[in-house]
Amino acid sequence: MDKRVVITGIGAVTPIGIGKDAFWEGLISGKNGIGLISAFDASAYPTKIAGEVKNFDPGQYMSKKEIRKNDRFVQFAIAAAKLAVEDAKLIIDDSNRHSIGILLGSGIGGIATIEEQHRILLEKGPDRVSPFFIPMLISNMASGQVSIMLGVKGPNTCVVTACATGCHAIGDAYTFIKRGEAICMVAGGSEAAVSPLAIGGFSAMKALSTRNNEPEKASRPFDKTRDGFVLAEGAGVVILEELSHALARHAPIYAEVIGYGMTGDAYHITAPDPEGSGAARAMEKALKSARLSPSDVDYINAHGTSTGLNDKIETAAIKQIFNSHAHEIPVSSTKSMTGHVLGATGALEIISCALTVKNKIIPPTINYEFPDPECDLDYVPNKAREQEVEVALSNSFGFGGHNAVLAVRDFHEDA
């Protein structure tokens, strides 16, 4: 029998709020999460803005000892995972811990730890480098530490596909359950790259917005005056469960994951395929996997980075697959509010899709003021929209030509 997979728990650590409810309220109210960088002195940088997580207290989720030996991206992952498990009312014990897995990714990992330990190496010598340096920086340690803290012993792995990481992590976890390798997966992504080296590197690529005088308007996907993405930090984690397991324990169900598609551009290390064919094929594969036709899709959460190339190419890719229906589908970018959370962004956007189909409210694309002739779809400008949404797609595209798309549907037990 074909196994069905549902989302039963949500954990979010974001620039617009911590926890499922704060995140969702931020999205539907059009809350801006972008401001001047406070983590370090950015006065000498071309870009001085980012989406930072405010009022995050790791002590609410782990001990002081654990805080000291975990990079901020792992701290975010632990917090989001614990929030998701609590939200799902999932009890982990000896009866199920071998059937529950972890699949958490990070696009960059512990870059702040690398910077700090390199400084110590230069100033104090190799003997002063922390013994926790390597475990703190490697991307798989989000999965490793969460598995230890939750005590789960099923599949335990990691995805690193730049900005497609969160979507790939949830998509791959979905396939693990479909194949019978787990009954439940803790899946998502985490990132904490608001650091001098990361901001410096992305600035050198001319990838970031330099709208420093108006941080709240800097992330403006699909708008003609967009000038780059806004780097952000945070984590998104979902609990995926095989349906019969979720029903047996009377778990809350937000949405059903019904399709997953992934492709590669094989074009350029950072730029998307100018024809949008890789993105289009990923959407096509997700629809085929979900046994959907293009006309079945009611909403698309776009990758929508606020860069010149991505937004127009994603628009073209949507038109390739949806043809005339493309102009009838609401397409919004929640990055307009959160900024671009790199390896976590796809996970946060799956959460957004799940809550959209559950609550029948589509988050807006804020800061949409000046229409771009090359971006001519319905981007749900500036204000959330109450609308029936049965099926939603979430697009994620990453440096290296990685494309991932997930399809979710409002849950119906008899579907």
State how beta strands 255-264 and 5-14 pair: antiparallel
Q: Which of 168, 245, 303, 402 is catalytic?
A: 303
Q: Are 403 and 313 in contact (CB under 8 A)?
A: no
Catalytic option among 168, 245, 340, 402: 340
Neighbours of 365 (CB within 10 A): 29
**Neighbour count for residue 120 (Cβ, 10 Å):** 16
Contact in structure between 234 and 16 (CB atoms under 8 Å): no
Q: Is 303 a catalytic residue?
A: yes
Of residues 136, 336, 333, the one with CA closest to residue 217: 336
Question: Among this protein's residues, is 340 annotated catalytic?
Answer: yes
Contacts of 231 (CB under 8 A, 6+ apart): 47, 50, 51, 193, 194, 198, 199, 202, 208, 339, 340, 342
Please, how many CA atoms are within 13 Å of residue 298, restricted to the half-sphere of its CB? Answer: 19
Catalytic annotation present for 375:
no
Catalytic residue among 158, 163, 167, 353: 163
User: How far is Cα 20 from Cα 358, in angstroms, rounded to an integer?
Assistant: 13
The CA–CA distances, whole Å, from 387 to 41, 329, 380 equal: 43, 11, 11
**Which residues are tagged catalytic?**
163, 303, 340
